[in-house]
């Protein structure tokens, strides 16, 4: 009993902690009346998350981490906004079919059990048949008396029933109106407008600054929903100056100049960068030393393989992170390298 009570308390606690997207600090809640006022304002780049009203789970946790990163690192990016739009979630047809099949199987099992019960009851009914005759006779007498009383009260009840039916019709009309309001609240207009897949929420769309006030063509995010991946996505698409984990501000400035140089000038720059790396290695800051060596290695590879190395390396690392069986230490190092690579795009 104590264990059951504990489980119930935990379940209720989890329900109470389900996040309403509207309550996340650093996000803006939009609906059918405010959406275009922000998107077509001409002053904002807006990442919009289309999701159910009460999202929960790992994807929601990662979104909240992403918002927290933006709150801390992108306050100076006054033209970047994170918004959420509530849409209705539809059940996956395949899962629904599976549930229906399970229900059908349960019904078949119940029917078989009922057949067995009927066979057992058959013998008992035979023994009780005589006793039931006397009871039926008594019931018929009582029924005759009740019919007389009911006839007298039916006239009065009919009048009351007409009034009740009228009230019920009014209540149904009111409920229908409320349902229509709910559909509007869930912003179904956006489902058709942006082809939102309601079976696979959340959906992230990036609306870039719309100076021309024309119909917007958002960029859909198709990657894994993690805080790091979303951060890299907006940084790459919008050129945000975010200092991701493992990145060094002074080295980002070096990269900004490096990628603009010709191959000959890059080779000259490498000699200078190598001295800077050696200096970092002599310092006591191990984390900065590791990062500096990653910057230097990427620069060398660019001079050897060209600028396309950056995208190739990003894809290679992301594939390993998604599919490879690696240690936590290796994973963290690869994430750091992926963050640093974003500065070379």
- Kindly tell me if the per-residue pLDDT of 173 is higher than 60: no
Look up the CATH number of domain 19-88+186-242.
Answer: 3.40.30.10
- pLDDT exceeds cutoff 90 at 166: no
What's phi and psi for 91, nearest 5 deg?
Answer: -75, 140
Taking residues 301-323, report their average pLDDT. 92
CB of 255 within 8 A of CB of 295? yes
Q: Is the pLDDT of residue 183 over 90?
A: no
Residue 7 has pLDDT above 50, yes or no: no
How far apart CA 161 and CA 169 sit, in angstroms, is 12
- How far apart, in whole angstroms, are the C-alpha atoms of residue 229 and residue 62? 10
Q: How confident is the model at residue 267 (pLDDT cuts 50, 70, 90)?
A: very high
Q: pLDDT class for 197, splitting at 50, 70, 90?
A: very high
Range with lowest mean pLDDT among 9-13, 101-105, 201-205 = 9-13
Q: Give percent above pLDDT 70 in the chain.
A: 64
Mean pLDDT of 85-113: 63
CB atoms within 10 A of CB 81: 21
* CATH code of the domain occupying 244-345: 1.20.1150.12
Over 50: is that where the pLDDT of 18 sits? no
Higher-pLDDT residue of 143, 69: 69
Q: What is the DSSP letter of 187?
A: T
Position 8 pLDDT exceeds 50:
no
Mean pLDDT throughout 79-97?
79
Tell me the pLDDT of the chain averaged across its residues. 78
Delimit the domains of the chain by residue range.
19-88+186-242, 93-185, 244-345
Q: Which of 30-34, 105-109, 162-166 has the lowest mean pLDDT?
A: 105-109
The residues pairing with 320 across neighbouring beta strands, listed in sequence order, are none
**Nearest to 51, CA basis, from 165, 202, 186:** 202
Pick from 116-120, 159-163, 183-187, 287-291 the range whose average pLDDT is largest: 287-291
Q: Give the pLDDT confidence of 51-74 residue by residue, as tens digits.
A: 998 999 999 999 999 999 999 888
For residues 144-149, average pLDDT = 64
pLDDT bracket for residue 3 (50, 70, 90): very low
C-alpha 223/C-alpha 104 separation (Å) is: 38
Higher pLDDT, 110 or 192: 192
Average pLDDT rounded to a whole number, residues 63-89: 90
Provide, for the chain, the percentages of residues in helix, strand and coil under a 3-state DSSP scheme, each rounded to the nearest 5.
70, 5, 25
DSSP string covering 116-165, please?
HHHHHHHHHHHHHHHHHHHHHHHHHHHHHHHHHHHHHHHHHHHHHHHHHH
In whole angstroms, give the CA distance from residue 185 to residue 278: 60
pLDDT band at residue 185 under the 50/70/90 scheme:
low
Contact 59, 225 (CB under 8 A): yes
* 238 to 190, 241, 265, 282, 316: CA distances (angstroms): 24, 9, 28, 36, 23
Instruction: Determine how many CB atoms are found less than 10 A away from the CB of residue 131.
Output: 9
């Amino acid at each position: 009993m104590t264990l059951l009570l504990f489980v119930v308390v935990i379940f209720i606690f989890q329900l109470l902690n389900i996040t309403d997207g509207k309550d996340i600090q650093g996000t803006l809640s939009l609906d059918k009346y405010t959406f275009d006022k922000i998107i077509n304002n001409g002053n904002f780049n807006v990442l919009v998350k289309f999701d159910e009203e009460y999202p929960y789970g790992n994807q929601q946790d990662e979104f909240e981490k992403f918002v927290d990163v933006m709150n801390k690192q992108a306050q100076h990016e006054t033209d970047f906004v994170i918004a959420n739009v509530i849409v209705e979630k539809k059940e996956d047809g395949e899962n629904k079919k599976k549930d229906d099949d399970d229900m059908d199987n349960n019904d078949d099992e119940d029917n078989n059990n009922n057949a067995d019960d009927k066979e057992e009851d058959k013998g008992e009914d035979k023994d009780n048949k005589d006793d039931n005759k006397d009871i039926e006779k008594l019931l018929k007498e009582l029924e005759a008396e009740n019919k007389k009383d009911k006839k007298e009260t039916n006239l009065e009840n009919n009048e009351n029933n007409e009034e009740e039916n009228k009230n019920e019709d009014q209540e149904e009309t009111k409920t229908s109106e409320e349902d229509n309001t709910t559909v509007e609240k869930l912003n179904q207009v956006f489902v058709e407008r942006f082809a939102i897949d309601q079976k696979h929420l959340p959906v992230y769309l990036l609306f870039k600054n719309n100076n021309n006030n024309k119909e917007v063509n958002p960029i859909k995010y198709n990657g894994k929903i993690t805080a790091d991946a979303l951060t890299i996505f907006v940084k790459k698409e919008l050129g945000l100056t975010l200092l991701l984990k493992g990145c060094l501000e002074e080295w980002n400035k070096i990269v900004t100049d490096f990628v603009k140089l010709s191959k000959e000038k890059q080779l000259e720059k490498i000699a200078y960068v190598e001295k800077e790396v050696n200096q970092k290695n002599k310092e006591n800051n191990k984390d900065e030393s590791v990062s500096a060596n990653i910057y230097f290695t990427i620069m060398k590879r660019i001079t050897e393989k060209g600028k396309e190395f950056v995208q190739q390396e990003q894809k290679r690392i992301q594939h390993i992170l998604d599919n490879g069986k690696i240690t936590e230490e290796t994973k963290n190092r690869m994430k750091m390298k992926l963050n640093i690579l974003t500065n070379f795009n």
